[in-house]
Structure 1
Amino acid sequence: MNSENFTTNILVNKDANSVYLYIKNFKQWWSEDIEGNTDQLNEKFFYHYKDVHLCNIQLIENSPNKKLIYLILDNHFNFTNDKTEWTNTLLIFEIQPEGEQTRILFTHQGLTPQYECFEICKESWTNYIEKSLKDYIETGIGHPNPKDKDGFNAKIVEKWKLK
């Protein structure tokens, strides 16, 4: 695996099975604007943040209590020259028990410093994993992007065939 891929990890006070279940509930820690199932193998879901970021994602590996891998099927950013930067990248969650705690190693395979979005994506993933997901796992309350219809343009979704 490329060492330039974005990676972060957290240690949480929950068992591996609980962590596995929490990770799969993206609406509680990433965004409330997700349509579709985020927890079923081979199922696809649609994520968007206003018109800034839209993508289709599929769970392609589901190893209970050990690993989850999601494939970004297609992507659209409104702030980069290459609107499809994340397309065909992977979101990898490795779950590792450590005594009574569990470590989550998150890697966005394909998100490297060469990407125009790298700095903002790095900052965003760091917040979502190290703050929102961690809080969700440990307290039951994450900090996902709230559901927001304002600024959403369905024509962009149609144009880019993202849904």
Structure 2
Amino acid sequence: MKSQNFSTTVRVDQTPEAAFAAINNVRGWWSGEIEGSTDKFGDEWTYRYKDLHYSKQRITEFVPGKKVTWLVLDSSLSFVEDKSEWNGTNITFEIARAGDKTEIKFTHVGLIPEGECYGACSNAWGSYINGSLRSLIATGKGQPNAKKG
């Protein structure tokens, strides 16, 4: 049986363009320290939360109103044995119209149930995507510090 990458989908009343803009405003929905630009193809940026999580991403796909992909170039997760578990994984946001709504499908390709981080990381992603990012798209205000991780 093929391993399943972590994925979650949200629907919002805003346009695909509004969803795309919110996704790329990473500081608006993901807690922690973010250094670098997060809103252009080829941008590289780092995320750090205390000494628990460090990761460096490069934007490898950037299709306005449709898709964003981040490649994790480097990572250090202090709470798992394999600190570099995220290295080489891809974080994707696929945006499409769904009737009168906009649907965002988030997938962390490589974050699979067999990985040690799957439980904690999938819970954190679920909270950020379904809570903070959805709020940022819907109301213009995210909740990046509602859940730490």
CA shift digits 1:36-89 (9 cap, x unpaired): 011111110010010000010010001111111100000001111110000000
Instruction: Structure 1 unaligned segments of length 5 or more: list them.
Output: 147-163
Q: Which amino acid aligns with 2:107?
A: T
1:3 is displaced (CA, Å) by: 5.5
Segments ≥4 residues shifted beyond 6 Å: none
Aligned length: 145
Q: In the alignment, which residue of structure 1 is the partner of 2:37?
A: 37
Aligned letter for 2:142?
G
Q: Which has the larger radius of gyration?
A: 1
TM-score, L = length of structure 1: 0.86
How far apart are residue 141 of structure 1 and its match?
A: 1.2
- How is 1:88-103 mapped onto 2 (pairs within 5 angstroms)? 88-103=88-103
**CA positional deviation for 1:23:** 0.6
Q: Distance in 2 between matches of 1:138 and 1:3?
A: 32
Task: Check the 8 A contact 2:3/2:113 in 1, yes or no.
Answer: no
RMSD: 1.3
What fraction of aligned residue pairs are identical, expressed as a percent? 41
TM-score, normalised with respect to structure 2: 0.93
Q: State the match for 2:141 in structure 1.
A: 141
